[in-house]
Amino acid sequence: MVQWLFLPVICVLSLALTAWLRQYALARKIIDVPNSRSSHTIPTPRGGGVAIVLVFLLSLPLMAWLHLVPVFLLVAVAGAGGLIAVIGFIDDHGHVAARWRLLGHFAAAAWALVWMGGLPEIEVFGATIDLGWAGYMVSAIFLVWMLNLYNFMDGIDGIASVETICVCVGLALLYWISGFEGMIWLPLCLACATAGFLFWNFPPARIFMGDAGSGFLGMVLGIFAISAASTSPSLFWATLILLGVFIVDATFTLIRRCLRGDKIYEAHRSHGYQFAARYFGKHLPVTLGVAALNTFWLIPIALCVVLIGLDGVVGLVLAYLPLLVLAIKFHAGELERAASTSSVEK
Protein backbone atom coordinates (compact mmCIF):
# COMPACT_ATOMS: atom_id res chain seq x y z
CA MET A 1 0.00 0.00 0.00
CA VAL A 2 2.85 2.37 0.78
CA GLN A 3 3.99 2.28 -2.84
CA TRP A 4 0.70 3.85 -3.97
CA LEU A 5 1.16 6.70 -1.47
CA PHE A 6 4.66 7.18 -2.83
CA LEU A 7 3.48 8.12 -6.33
CA PRO A 8 1.90 11.51 -5.48
CA VAL A 9 4.99 12.32 -3.40
CA ILE A 10 7.13 11.82 -6.51
CA CYS A 11 4.87 14.18 -8.46
CA VAL A 12 5.00 16.91 -5.80
CA LEU A 13 8.78 16.62 -5.40
CA SER A 14 9.25 16.96 -9.16
CA LEU A 15 6.96 19.98 -9.27
CA ALA A 16 8.82 21.70 -6.42
CA LEU A 17 12.28 20.88 -7.78
CA THR A 18 11.33 22.18 -11.23
CA ALA A 19 10.26 25.47 -9.64
CA TRP A 20 13.65 25.73 -7.92
CA LEU A 21 15.51 24.86 -11.12
CA ARG A 22 13.59 27.59 -12.92
CA GLN A 23 14.76 30.16 -10.41
CA TYR A 24 18.30 28.76 -10.63
CA ALA A 25 18.30 28.98 -14.44
CA LEU A 26 17.01 32.56 -14.34
CA ALA A 27 19.64 33.56 -11.80
CA ARG A 28 22.48 31.92 -13.74
CA LYS A 29 21.06 33.09 -17.08
CA ILE A 30 20.72 29.54 -18.40
CA ILE A 31 18.29 30.71 -21.02
CA ASP A 32 17.22 29.28 -24.37
CA VAL A 33 17.39 32.30 -26.67
CA PRO A 34 15.32 31.94 -29.87
CA ASN A 35 17.13 31.73 -33.19
CA SER A 36 16.23 30.88 -36.78
CA ARG A 37 16.04 27.16 -35.91
CA SER A 38 13.87 27.60 -32.84
CA SER A 39 10.18 26.84 -32.49
CA HIS A 40 9.73 29.50 -29.81
CA THR A 41 9.95 33.28 -29.77
CA ILE A 42 10.42 34.11 -26.09
CA PRO A 43 13.69 33.54 -24.16
CA THR A 44 12.94 30.75 -21.67
CA PRO A 45 15.01 29.06 -18.94
CA ARG A 46 16.06 25.52 -19.72
CA GLY A 47 17.28 22.46 -17.82
CA GLY A 48 14.06 21.67 -15.96
CA GLY A 49 14.27 18.03 -16.99
CA VAL A 50 16.90 17.58 -14.30
CA ALA A 51 13.97 17.47 -11.86
CA ILE A 52 12.61 14.39 -13.62
CA VAL A 53 16.02 12.75 -13.53
CA LEU A 54 16.78 13.41 -9.86
CA VAL A 55 13.35 12.55 -8.49
CA PHE A 56 13.09 9.36 -10.55
CA LEU A 57 16.60 8.20 -9.65
CA LEU A 58 15.92 8.91 -5.98
CA SER A 59 12.86 6.66 -6.17
CA LEU A 60 14.92 3.66 -7.33
CA PRO A 61 16.46 2.78 -3.93
CA LEU A 62 13.00 2.79 -2.37
CA MET A 63 11.74 0.43 -5.07
CA ALA A 64 14.68 -1.83 -4.34
CA TRP A 65 14.01 -1.70 -0.58
CA LEU A 66 10.33 -2.56 -1.14
CA HIS A 67 11.31 -5.35 -3.58
CA LEU A 68 9.08 -3.84 -6.26
CA VAL A 69 11.57 -4.08 -9.12
CA PRO A 70 14.46 -6.52 -9.78
CA VAL A 71 17.76 -4.99 -8.71
CA PHE A 72 19.48 -5.72 -12.05
CA LEU A 73 16.85 -3.61 -13.85
CA LEU A 74 17.23 -0.75 -11.37
CA VAL A 75 21.01 -0.81 -11.85
CA ALA A 76 20.60 -0.82 -15.63
CA VAL A 77 18.22 2.15 -15.55
CA ALA A 78 20.19 4.13 -12.96
CA GLY A 79 23.58 3.66 -14.63
CA ALA A 80 22.54 4.23 -18.24
CA GLY A 81 20.01 6.98 -17.52
CA GLY A 82 22.34 8.72 -15.09
CA LEU A 83 25.23 8.80 -17.57
CA ILE A 84 23.00 10.20 -20.32
CA ALA A 85 21.67 12.86 -17.94
CA VAL A 86 25.21 13.92 -16.96
CA ILE A 87 26.25 14.22 -20.61
CA GLY A 88 23.12 16.22 -21.38
CA PHE A 89 23.61 18.45 -18.33
CA ILE A 90 27.18 19.30 -19.39
CA ASP A 91 25.98 19.97 -22.93
CA ASP A 92 23.17 22.21 -21.62
CA HIS A 93 25.72 24.30 -19.71
CA GLY A 94 28.42 24.35 -22.37
CA HIS A 95 29.20 22.05 -25.26
CA VAL A 96 30.21 18.43 -25.70
CA ALA A 97 31.62 17.44 -29.09
CA ALA A 98 29.33 15.15 -31.06
CA ARG A 99 31.84 12.28 -31.15
CA TRP A 100 32.20 12.29 -27.35
CA ARG A 101 28.46 12.49 -26.88
CA LEU A 102 27.97 9.50 -29.17
CA LEU A 103 30.67 7.55 -27.35
CA GLY A 104 28.93 8.27 -24.05
CA HIS A 105 25.59 7.25 -25.52
CA PHE A 106 26.89 3.85 -26.60
CA ALA A 107 28.65 3.39 -23.26
CA ALA A 108 25.34 3.97 -21.49
CA ALA A 109 23.58 1.54 -23.81
CA ALA A 110 26.27 -1.08 -23.21
CA TRP A 111 25.90 -0.69 -19.44
CA ALA A 112 22.16 -1.28 -19.63
CA LEU A 113 22.45 -4.26 -21.96
CA VAL A 114 25.11 -6.00 -19.90
CA TRP A 115 22.89 -5.86 -16.83
CA MET A 116 19.78 -6.88 -18.79
CA GLY A 117 21.44 -9.67 -20.77
CA GLY A 118 20.91 -8.12 -24.19
CA LEU A 119 17.86 -8.46 -26.40
CA PRO A 120 15.77 -11.53 -25.55
CA GLU A 121 14.03 -13.72 -28.10
CA ILE A 122 11.36 -11.92 -30.11
CA GLU A 123 8.43 -13.22 -32.12
CA VAL A 124 7.91 -12.21 -35.74
CA PHE A 125 4.74 -13.55 -37.38
CA GLY A 126 4.65 -16.34 -34.82
CA ALA A 127 8.28 -17.40 -35.35
CA THR A 128 10.70 -17.06 -32.45
CA ILE A 129 13.96 -15.32 -33.37
CA ASP A 130 17.08 -15.27 -31.20
CA LEU A 131 19.63 -12.76 -32.50
CA GLY A 132 22.26 -13.89 -30.03
CA TRP A 133 25.25 -11.53 -29.84
CA ALA A 134 23.88 -9.54 -32.77
CA GLY A 135 21.02 -8.64 -30.47
CA TYR A 136 23.42 -6.56 -28.38
CA MET A 137 24.33 -4.45 -31.40
CA VAL A 138 20.72 -4.06 -32.51
CA SER A 139 19.65 -3.14 -28.98
CA ALA A 140 22.50 -0.64 -28.56
CA ILE A 141 21.58 1.13 -31.80
CA PHE A 142 17.94 1.14 -30.71
CA LEU A 143 18.75 2.70 -27.32
CA VAL A 144 21.02 5.35 -28.83
CA TRP A 145 18.39 6.19 -31.43
CA MET A 146 15.71 6.41 -28.75
CA LEU A 147 17.62 8.93 -26.66
CA ASN A 148 18.52 11.02 -29.70
CA LEU A 149 15.04 10.99 -31.19
CA TYR A 150 13.71 12.20 -27.84
CA ASN A 151 16.13 15.13 -28.08
CA PHE A 152 14.89 15.82 -31.61
CA MET A 153 11.23 15.60 -30.65
CA ASP A 154 11.53 17.84 -27.58
CA GLY A 155 11.00 20.95 -29.66
CA ILE A 156 7.67 22.43 -28.59
CA ASP A 157 6.01 22.97 -25.23
CA GLY A 158 4.90 19.86 -23.37
CA ILE A 159 5.25 17.36 -26.21
CA ALA A 160 8.02 15.19 -24.72
CA SER A 161 6.40 15.25 -21.27
CA VAL A 162 2.97 14.30 -22.60
CA GLU A 163 4.45 11.52 -24.73
CA THR A 164 6.32 10.11 -21.73
CA ILE A 165 3.26 10.13 -19.48
CA CYS A 166 1.09 8.49 -22.14
CA VAL A 167 3.65 5.77 -22.89
CA CYS A 168 4.33 5.03 -19.21
CA VAL A 169 0.66 4.92 -18.19
CA GLY A 170 -0.13 2.78 -21.24
CA LEU A 171 2.72 0.40 -20.42
CA ALA A 172 1.64 0.12 -16.78
CA LEU A 173 -1.88 -0.66 -17.97
CA LEU A 174 -0.58 -3.38 -20.29
CA TYR A 175 1.44 -4.94 -17.49
CA TRP A 176 -1.52 -4.81 -15.12
CA ILE A 177 -4.07 -6.45 -17.39
CA SER A 178 -1.62 -9.11 -18.63
CA GLY A 179 -0.86 -10.29 -15.09
CA PHE A 180 2.55 -8.68 -14.54
CA GLU A 181 1.48 -6.28 -11.79
CA GLY A 182 4.98 -6.18 -10.34
CA MET A 183 6.28 -4.45 -13.48
CA ILE A 184 4.06 -1.35 -13.23
CA TRP A 185 6.15 0.61 -10.73
CA LEU A 186 9.01 1.87 -12.89
CA PRO A 187 6.75 3.35 -15.60
CA LEU A 188 4.33 4.78 -13.02
CA CYS A 189 7.17 6.46 -11.11
CA LEU A 190 8.55 7.95 -14.32
CA ALA A 191 5.08 9.16 -15.30
CA CYS A 192 4.63 10.89 -11.92
CA ALA A 193 8.08 12.50 -12.03
CA THR A 194 7.30 13.79 -15.53
CA ALA A 195 3.85 15.03 -14.50
CA GLY A 196 5.36 17.33 -11.86
CA PHE A 197 7.64 18.85 -14.50
CA LEU A 198 4.78 19.14 -17.01
CA PHE A 199 3.04 21.66 -14.75
CA TRP A 200 5.82 24.11 -15.65
CA ASN A 201 6.34 22.90 -19.21
CA PHE A 202 2.71 22.85 -20.40
CA PRO A 203 2.02 25.41 -23.17
CA PRO A 204 3.05 28.14 -22.78
CA ALA A 205 6.15 26.68 -21.13
CA ARG A 206 7.84 28.48 -18.23
CA ILE A 207 10.90 26.23 -18.45
CA PHE A 208 12.26 23.82 -21.04
CA MET A 209 13.38 20.26 -20.45
CA GLY A 210 16.89 20.47 -21.86
CA ASP A 211 19.08 17.65 -23.19
CA ALA A 212 19.64 16.19 -19.72
CA GLY A 213 15.94 15.45 -19.38
CA SER A 214 15.02 14.51 -22.94
CA GLY A 215 18.00 12.17 -23.45
CA PHE A 216 17.36 10.54 -20.09
CA LEU A 217 13.71 9.90 -20.98
CA GLY A 218 14.60 8.42 -24.36
CA MET A 219 17.16 6.06 -22.84
CA VAL A 220 14.88 4.93 -20.00
CA LEU A 221 11.91 4.34 -22.29
CA GLY A 222 14.15 2.33 -24.61
CA ILE A 223 15.21 0.21 -21.63
CA PHE A 224 11.53 -0.24 -20.78
CA ALA A 225 10.94 -1.66 -24.28
CA ILE A 226 13.76 -4.20 -23.93
CA SER A 227 12.59 -5.09 -20.43
CA ALA A 228 9.08 -5.63 -21.81
CA ALA A 229 10.53 -8.08 -24.35
CA SER A 230 12.03 -10.07 -21.46
CA THR A 231 8.60 -10.23 -19.85
CA SER A 232 6.56 -11.21 -22.90
CA PRO A 233 7.15 -11.03 -26.68
CA SER A 234 3.77 -9.36 -27.19
CA LEU A 235 4.65 -6.66 -24.66
CA PHE A 236 7.76 -5.76 -26.68
CA TRP A 237 5.73 -5.00 -29.78
CA ALA A 238 3.07 -3.27 -27.68
CA THR A 239 5.70 -0.95 -26.20
CA LEU A 240 7.03 -0.07 -29.66
CA ILE A 241 3.44 0.72 -30.64
CA LEU A 242 3.08 3.05 -27.65
CA LEU A 243 6.25 4.90 -28.74
CA GLY A 244 4.93 5.30 -32.28
CA VAL A 245 4.34 9.06 -32.42
CA PHE A 246 7.98 9.89 -31.71
CA ILE A 247 9.50 6.94 -33.58
CA VAL A 248 7.62 7.60 -36.82
CA ASP A 249 8.08 11.39 -36.94
CA ALA A 250 11.78 11.32 -35.99
CA THR A 251 12.70 8.34 -38.20
CA PHE A 252 10.78 9.52 -41.26
CA THR A 253 12.29 13.01 -40.92
CA LEU A 254 15.81 11.58 -40.59
CA ILE A 255 15.40 9.36 -43.66
CA ARG A 256 14.12 12.24 -45.77
CA ARG A 257 16.97 14.52 -44.70
CA CYS A 258 19.54 11.79 -45.38
CA LEU A 259 18.16 11.14 -48.86
CA ARG A 260 18.37 14.88 -49.57
CA GLY A 261 21.98 14.97 -48.43
CA ASP A 262 21.43 17.22 -45.40
CA LYS A 263 23.91 17.22 -42.54
CA ILE A 264 21.88 15.23 -40.05
CA TYR A 265 23.74 16.63 -37.03
CA GLU A 266 22.76 20.22 -37.86
CA ALA A 267 19.84 21.78 -35.98
CA HIS A 268 16.64 22.12 -37.94
CA ARG A 269 12.92 22.44 -37.48
CA SER A 270 11.59 20.16 -40.19
CA HIS A 271 9.92 17.50 -38.04
CA GLY A 272 6.26 16.92 -38.70
CA TYR A 273 5.23 18.18 -35.28
CA GLN A 274 7.16 21.43 -35.88
CA PHE A 275 5.42 22.04 -39.20
CA ALA A 276 2.13 21.26 -37.47
CA ALA A 277 2.86 23.80 -34.72
CA ARG A 278 3.55 26.48 -37.31
CA TYR A 279 0.41 25.49 -39.21
CA PHE A 280 -1.79 25.92 -36.13
CA GLY A 281 0.13 28.98 -34.96
CA LYS A 282 0.76 27.60 -31.48
CA HIS A 283 1.95 24.52 -29.66
CA LEU A 284 -1.08 23.50 -27.60
CA PRO A 285 -3.12 21.80 -30.39
CA VAL A 286 -0.13 19.66 -31.39
CA THR A 287 0.71 18.63 -27.83
CA LEU A 288 -2.93 17.74 -27.16
CA GLY A 289 -3.03 15.92 -30.49
CA VAL A 290 -0.13 13.72 -29.37
CA ALA A 291 -2.05 12.88 -26.21
CA ALA A 292 -5.14 12.03 -28.26
CA LEU A 293 -3.21 9.81 -30.69
CA ASN A 294 -1.75 7.87 -27.79
CA THR A 295 -5.01 7.57 -25.89
CA PHE A 296 -7.43 6.76 -28.68
CA TRP A 297 -5.24 5.01 -31.24
CA LEU A 298 -1.96 3.58 -30.00
CA ILE A 299 -3.01 2.32 -26.57
CA PRO A 300 -6.08 0.47 -27.97
CA ILE A 301 -3.95 -1.26 -30.63
CA ALA A 302 -1.34 -2.19 -28.03
CA LEU A 303 -4.16 -3.67 -25.94
CA CYS A 304 -5.26 -5.74 -28.94
CA VAL A 305 -1.75 -7.17 -29.27
CA VAL A 306 -1.62 -8.13 -25.59
CA LEU A 307 -5.24 -9.13 -24.96
CA ILE A 308 -6.61 -10.72 -28.12
CA GLY A 309 -3.40 -12.00 -29.70
CA LEU A 310 -3.10 -9.60 -32.64
CA ASP A 311 0.29 -10.32 -34.19
CA GLY A 312 2.83 -7.79 -32.92
CA VAL A 313 4.23 -6.90 -36.34
CA VAL A 314 0.74 -6.54 -37.81
CA GLY A 315 -0.25 -4.34 -34.89
CA LEU A 316 2.88 -2.23 -35.35
CA VAL A 317 2.19 -1.67 -39.04
CA LEU A 318 -1.47 -0.90 -38.36
CA ALA A 319 -0.51 1.59 -35.65
CA TYR A 320 2.25 3.31 -37.62
CA LEU A 321 0.49 3.73 -40.99
CA PRO A 322 -1.77 6.65 -39.95
CA LEU A 323 1.20 8.24 -38.17
CA LEU A 324 3.17 7.99 -41.41
CA VAL A 325 0.28 9.64 -43.28
CA LEU A 326 0.31 12.47 -40.73
CA ALA A 327 4.07 12.85 -41.10
CA ILE A 328 3.68 13.20 -44.87
CA LYS A 329 0.70 15.55 -44.49
CA PHE A 330 2.71 17.86 -42.26
CA HIS A 331 5.79 17.74 -44.52
CA ALA A 332 8.10 15.95 -42.08
CA GLY A 333 11.66 16.15 -43.38
CA GLU A 334 10.90 18.67 -46.12
CA LEU A 335 12.71 21.96 -46.52
CA GLU A 336 10.96 24.72 -44.65
CA ARG A 337 8.93 26.95 -46.91
CA ALA A 338 8.47 30.40 -45.42
CA ALA A 339 5.44 31.16 -47.56
CA SER A 340 3.52 28.17 -46.15
CA THR A 341 4.34 28.57 -42.48
CA SER A 342 3.25 30.96 -39.80
CA SER A 343 4.95 32.15 -36.65
CA VAL A 344 4.76 29.88 -33.62
CA GLU A 345 4.05 31.14 -30.12
CA LYS A 346 6.03 29.59 -27.32
Q: Phi, psi (5° rounding) for residue 124?
A: -125, 110
Q: Quick check: 89 and 47 in contact, CB under 8 A?
A: yes
Predicted pLDDT at 160: 97
Radius of gyration of the chain (CA): 19
> Residue 46: CB partners within 8 Å, gap ≥ 6?
25, 30, 31, 32, 92, 207, 208, 209, 210
Give me the helices (H) in 35-183, please. Answer: 49-65, 71-93, 98-116, 134-153, 159-177
Locate the domains of the chain by residue range.
2-120+128-340
Per-residue pLDDT tens digits of the chain, which is 346 residues long: 667 888 999 999 999 999 999 999 998 888 877 665 666 667 889 899 999 999 999 999 999 999 999 999 999 999 999 999 999 999 887 788 888 999 999 999 999 999 999 998 888 888 888 888 899 999 999 999 999 999 999 999 999 999 999 999 999 999 999 999 989 999 999 999 999 999 999 999 999 999 999 999 999 999 999 999 999 999 999 999 999 999 999 999 999 999 988 877 777 889 999 999 999 999 999 999 999 999 999 999 999 999 999 999 999 999 999 999 999 999 999 987 643 444 333 3
Residue 228: how many CB atoms within 10 A of its CB?
Answer: 25
Q: What's the pTM? A: 0.93
Q: At what angle do helices 134-153 and 244-260 cross, to 10 degrees?
A: 90
